[in-house]
Structure 1
Amino acid sequence: MQSLTRLLNTALTLQPPQRLGNAAAVALQQWRGKTKVVEKPKPGAGQQFRRTVHFPEEYTVEPLEITHLAGRDPVSGRLVAKGIGGGVKQQYRWVKWVRDGPPEGAPREELVLEVLRDGCRTAKVALVAVGDELKYILATENMKAGDILKTSRVIPRIPVRPNEGDAYPLGALPVGTRIHCLEKNPGQACHLIHAAGTFGTILRKFDDKVVVQLPSKREFAFHRTCMATVGRLSNTEHNKEHVGSAQRMRELGNRPRSGLWKRKEGKHGRKIRRLPPMTTIAPPAPPKEEAIRLTLPL
C-alpha cells in the first residue's frame, strides 16, 4: 500500500494532468484523496495487543470488562502480533499497585479475605480489607485467608523482621530479603517483579541507595524509600506446567506457528553472555517550566 501510494504520488508530481488525460488524472486525484495510509504499530513498545481492559473512573473490586484483540491493533484493526488468537473468556481483576502506609508510628494492618486465580496474569491475587476499603494485591507463595499484613513507610535505625506479604521501604528491610512489587521511583506504582514465582533479593546498601538483584540477575540501585513487598510470588510451578495438547494451547490464547522457524539451529542457538554492570535508578526528570512572555500595550 505504501509503495503504491508513493508511486502514484511520484507520477502526479512528475507528469502534468493534461499528459495523463483528464479522466485518468481525476481518478488518481480522487483515489489519493480517499485513501488513508495507516502506519503499522510495532510490538514490544509497551502497547497491549492481546486484550483491552475498560477501566472505570474509580477503583473497584468487581471484575472489569475486556475486549479481546487477538493480536490486532485496536485503532486500525491490522494484525500486529501473529502468535495471539483465540483463548477462553477471562475476568480481569484490578490490582492496586500502590502499597501506601503511615509515614510515622505503628504500621497499618490489612486482613487477607481470599486468595484466588486471575486468568489475565500468572500469579494469584488476594482480596485484602483495609478498614472499610477492599482491594486486590498480588498473593505471595504461602499467603492464605486470615493472614494479617503490615504496611509502613517508616525506616527505623535497626532493620525490621518482616513477614511474608508485608510492605516496607527498601531501607527498612535487612540484606538478603526476598521482595516483589518494587517501586522504580519513590511514590510511583510498584511495576517491577510481577510474574508468578519470581522474586528479587536485597544484596547491599550504600549511601541512600539499596542494590536489588532482579529475577533477570541484573543488579539495580534504588532509593532507600522505594516501597517493596516481602516474599516470593505465588504459583511457583507456573514455569513447569505442561500444556499437553494443541487445544490447550489455543485455550491459553496462543495461535499456532508455521513450524518453519527452528530455535535450536544455527544463529538462533543459546548464547552465554556476561551480565551488564549495576545500573543506578535516577529520579524522574522535573517537568519543563513554560517561559513567561511579557507584552507591552500598543
Structure 2
Amino acid sequence: MKILNSMAIHLYKTSTPSTRNGTVGSQVKSNPRNNLIYGQHHCGKGRNARGIITARHRGGGHKRLYRKIDFRRNEKDIYGRIVTIEYDPNRNAYICLIHYGDGEKRYILHPRGAIIGDTIVSGTEVPIKMGNALPLSAISSSTSRKPYALEEACTVWEGVLIDQKEESTSTDMPLGTAIHNIEITLGKGGQLVRAAGAVAKLIAKEGKSATLKLPSGEVRLISKNCSATVGQVGNVGANQKSLGRAGSKRWLGKRPVVRGVVMNPVDHPHGGGEGRAPIGRKKPTTPWG
C-alpha cells in the first residue's frame, strides 16, 4: 500500500482487478449522534409518481442516514471545539462535530487543515481564522495585511493537513481571502462552495455587494450582509479517487449507462444495424431525438 500525492489516497497491492484499479481514501469513521441524524425515504429513485423513469441511471444504493449540517452558523459569538471528524455518505466532504460552550452540538463542513481540538466561532467581529464564519461586510479594502492564504496556512504531514498559521486578531476580512459555505440569501444558510476541496476568493467590494470568484471561474456579486466561512472545504483529493469496480458505483445508487449504438432502433435513434454500425445520422442525438 502506498499514498498517492500525499492526499491520503491509498493504492493497494494488485491482487484483484478491483484493488488494481481502485483507490481508497482516508479511513474516517462515522459514529453520528442520534439527535443529529434522521432517516430518509427514497421512493422511486429516478421515477415519477406513476413509476415511469424520468431520470435515467438512478436506483438502488445503500441506505443512508442524513446528518443535519449547520449551514447557517447562527451560534453567534459562542466558541466551539472540534470533537470528531466524520465520514458523511451524503456528500464527498467530511463533517466535524462541534461542541459549543453553551452545550449545543452541531455538525459543520470540515475545513481544510482543521484537526480535533481546534476552536471555531461565528459572529460579526471574530478573528479571520480557518473555520470561523462571519459576514462579507467585515471586509478591509486595505491590502497591507496578507489574506488567509491556503498555501502558507497549511502543510501536509503523513497525509493530514496541519494549520501552521498563527491566529489573526483582526476582524476585517482582507481581499483575496479564501472562503466557502457562502450564503446567497441572508439567513438561509450557505448554498455555494460546499463540495470537497471547493474554495472561492473574495476579490472586491463595492457598495452593498461583494465580488466573489467561484470555483467554476464565475465572478458573482453577493450581498455583503451574507455570511461565509473562512478557508477551503477539506478532503481535497476526493476527485482523485477511483472506485475500481462496478459494484462500488451501484452502492452509490448509480445504475449502468448503456450506449445508444448498441440498443435496438425502438430504444434509441442510434440503435439497429448489422454488427458494428454507425449511428446513421449527421450528428448524435438524445434518446428522444
Q: Same fold (TM over 0.5)?
A: yes
* Counterpart for residue 128 of structure 2: 162
CA contact (8 A) 1:100 1:153 kept: no
* Counterpart for residue 271 of structure 2: none
Please give the alpha-carbon distance, in whole angstroms, between the structure 2 residues aligned to 1:187 and 1:119: 26
CA contact (8 A) 1:70 1:84 kept: no
CA contact (8 A) 2:39 2:64 kept: no
- 1:90 Cα offset (Å): 2.2
2:110 is equivalent to residue 139 of structure 1: yes
Please give the alpha-carbon distance, in whole angstroms, between the structure 1 residues aligned to 2:283 and 2:119: 51
* Counterpart for residue 122 of structure 1: 92
Which of the pair has the greater relative contact order for Cα pairs under 8 Å at 6+ separation? Answer: 2
- 1:125 Cα offset (Å): 0.9
* Counterpart for residue 55 of structure 2: 81
Letter in 1 for 2:106: K
Q: What SS does structure 1 have at the residue aligned with 2:41?
A: strand
Q: What SS does structure 2 have at the residue aligned with 1:89?
A: coil
Map residues 150-189 of structure 1 onto 2, 5 A cutoff. 150-154=121-125, 162-172=128-138, 173-189=173-189
Q: What SS does structure 1 have at the residue aligned with 2:247?
A: helix
Q: What SS does structure 1 have at the residue aligned with 2:67?
A: coil
Q: 2:73 aligns with which of 73, 91, 99?
A: 99
Please give the alpha-carbon distance, in whole angstroms, between the structure 2 residues aligned to 1:261 and 1:153: 58
Deviations 1:12-42 (A, max 9, x none): xxxxxxxxxxxxxxxxxxxxxxxxxxxxxxx
Deviations 1:211-238 (A, max 9, x none): 0011111111112121000111111111
Please give the alpha-carbon distance, in whole angstroms, between the structure 1 residues aligned to 2:115 and 2:200: 22
- 1:137 Cα offset (Å): 0.9
TM-score of the superposed pair, with normalisation by structure 2: 0.63
How many positions carry a matched residue from both structures? 199
Q: What SS does structure 2 have at the residue aligned with 1:248?
A: helix
What stretches of structure 2 of length at least 5 have no aligned partner?
1-33, 139-172, 263-278, 285-289
- 1:70 Cα offset (Å): 5.1
Letter in 1 for 2:130: E
2:40 is equivalent to residue 66 of structure 1: yes
- 1:177 Cα offset (Å): 0.8
1:151–1:62 CA distance, 2 compared to 1 (3 A): closer
CA contact (8 A) 2:46 2:59 kept: no
1:74–1:134 CA distance, 2 compared to 1 (3 A): farther
1:190–1:267 CA distance, 2 compared to 1 (3 A): farther
Map residues 186-197 of structure 1 onto 2, 5 A cutoff. 186-197=186-197
1:267–1:114 CA distance, 2 compared to 1 (3 A): farther
1:66–1:188 CA distance, 2 compared to 1 (3 A): closer
CA contact (8 A) 1:180 1:230 kept: yes
Letter in 1 for 2:217: K
- 1:267 Cα offset (Å): 6.4
- Percent identical pairs in the alignment equals 28
1:94–1:201 CA distance, 2 compared to 1 (3 A): same
Letter in 2 for 1:181: N
The structure with more helix, counted as a fraction of residues: 1
Letter in 1 for 2:218: R
1:166–1:251 CA distance, 2 compared to 1 (3 A): same
RMSD: 2.5
Please give the alpha-carbon distance, in whole angstroms, between the structure 2 residues aligned to 1:187 and 1:132: 22
Q: What SS does structure 1 have at the residue aligned with 2:250?
A: helix
What stretches of structure 1 of length at least 5 have no aligned partner?
1-59, 155-159, 269-298
* Counterpart for residue 51 of structure 1: none
* Counterpart for residue 212 of structure 2: 212
* Counterpart for residue 201 of structure 1: 201
Q: What SS does structure 2 have at the residue aligned with 1:64?
A: strand
Please give the alpha-carbon distance, in whole angstroms, between the structure 1 residues aligned to 2:94 and 2:44: 24
The structure with more strand, counted as a fraction of residues: 2
- 1:178 Cα offset (Å): 0.9
- 1:124 Cα offset (Å): 0.8
1:77–1:94 CA distance, 2 compared to 1 (3 A): farther
Larger radius of gyration: 1
Please give the alpha-carbon distance, in whole angstroms, between the structure 2 residues aligned to 1:113 and 1:260: 50
